[in-house]
Amino acid sequence: MRILVAGASGLIGTALSSTLRDSGHEVASLVRRPPASPGEFQWDPAAGRIDDTALKGADAVINLSGAGIGDRPWTRGRINELSASRLGPTRTLTAAMGRMDNPPPVFLSQSASGYYGNAGQAVLRENAPAGSGVLARICADWEAAAQEAPAGVRVVTARTGVVLSRSGGALGRLLPLLRLGVGGPLGNGRQYWPWITLPDVAGAFNFLLTAPLAGPVNVCAPESADVNSLISRLAESLHRPALLRVPAPVLRLVMGQLANELLLASQRMEPAALAGAGFQWQHPSLAQAAAWVAARG
């Protein structure tokens, strides 16, 4: 297949592009700078501009664009930026598809577990309702924008959980602390984080290119885990203690609303659609995931 990727230079995009090429696919990417190779096409999603030739002959478009949720404090301006950096690219892509006589038949557009808000202990399958809060609202708008693709395009909105990688991503700041033995759970640790390893995220997107699925798909591992279990298992694999719990009031004082929605919210997400379609995880258990993260090589 010929696949066009938006956001190919990010953590997931880099791993996914490599996985796709290893699977024999041709990967083209959208870039904001002048193209440096025949496989790059320029766009300006904030202005709604794109080189329409990028989509010609494409069998699928994968949209991973979006500013980092936890990179900076959530000022009003930053929240607007988080939303615009997702809606702008998504609408630019669907508009470009709408201008084509034969648009790409598949559109995979990333969403996030934040769609569900703080859902406590409830098990969240794809038919669970949207939650409340900044992230839930952004995700709902993001998914609605993806559904603006032309009729006949199979649209999948991938609600991705916390991505475990050996560097960067959600654990980028936590892993070095755990390796030093000075990390620990966040808040009371009983909140559920839907997690998945980086190779499995890439594998899931590759699988979704041809799987008979449409609409929302929970992209996480089949084994659920609360933060206490997640941190303790990672620390154990690193042969380090994880005793320095950070209380919720401290997190709220330092991070404000971001702490409530990104670190303290509970989402016990279940990958019902992926499992039902026959996806095979490389790291289905937390023990396997932690061992992979700790290996580093």
Integer Cα distance of 156 and 150 in angstroms:
13
pLDDT of residue 297: 46
Mean pLDDT, range 261-266, rounded to an integer: 90
pTM score, whole prediction: 0.94
Q: What are the tens digits of pLDDT across the range 122-133?
A: 999 999 999 999
* Residue pointed to by tokens 């798909």: 217
Supply the Cα-derived Rg of the chain in whole angstroms: 19
Mean pLDDT for 13-25 is 96
User: ∠ CA 236-296-31 to the nearest 5 degrees?
Assistant: 130
Helix boundaries (H) for 99-168:
134-146
Q: Where are the beta strands (DSSP E) in the chain?
A: 2-6, 26-31, 40-44, 49-50, 60-63, 106-112, 123-124, 154-160, 162-164, 195-197, 215-219, 268-269
HSE at residue 269, side-chain half, CA atoms within 13 A, is: 32
Beta bridge partners of 186: 246
Question: What is the pLDDT of the chain when averaged over all its residues?
Answer: 93
Q: What is the pLDDT of residues 107-153, one digit of tens each?
A: 999 999 999 999 999 999 999 999 999 999 999 999 999 999 999 99
Pick from 144-158, 161-175, 198-212, 245-259: least confident: 161-175
Return the pLDDT at 180.
80
| Residue 226 DSSP code | B
Please name which of 162, 21, 42, 33 lies closest in space to residue 96, comparing C-alpha atoms: 42
Share of the chain above pLDDT 90, in %: 76
The pair of structure tokens assigned to 2 is 């010929």
Distance between CA atoms of 106 and 103, rounded to whole angstroms?
Answer: 9
| pLDDT-derived band at 296, boundaries 50, 70, 90 | low
Least confident window among 101-115, 171-185, 196-210, 276-290: 171-185
Q: What is the pLDDT of residues 215-261, one digit of tens each?
A: 999 999 999 999 999 999 988 998 888 878 888 888 888 888 888 88
Structure tokens at 113: 């577990």
Q: What pLDDT shows up at residue 23?
A: 95
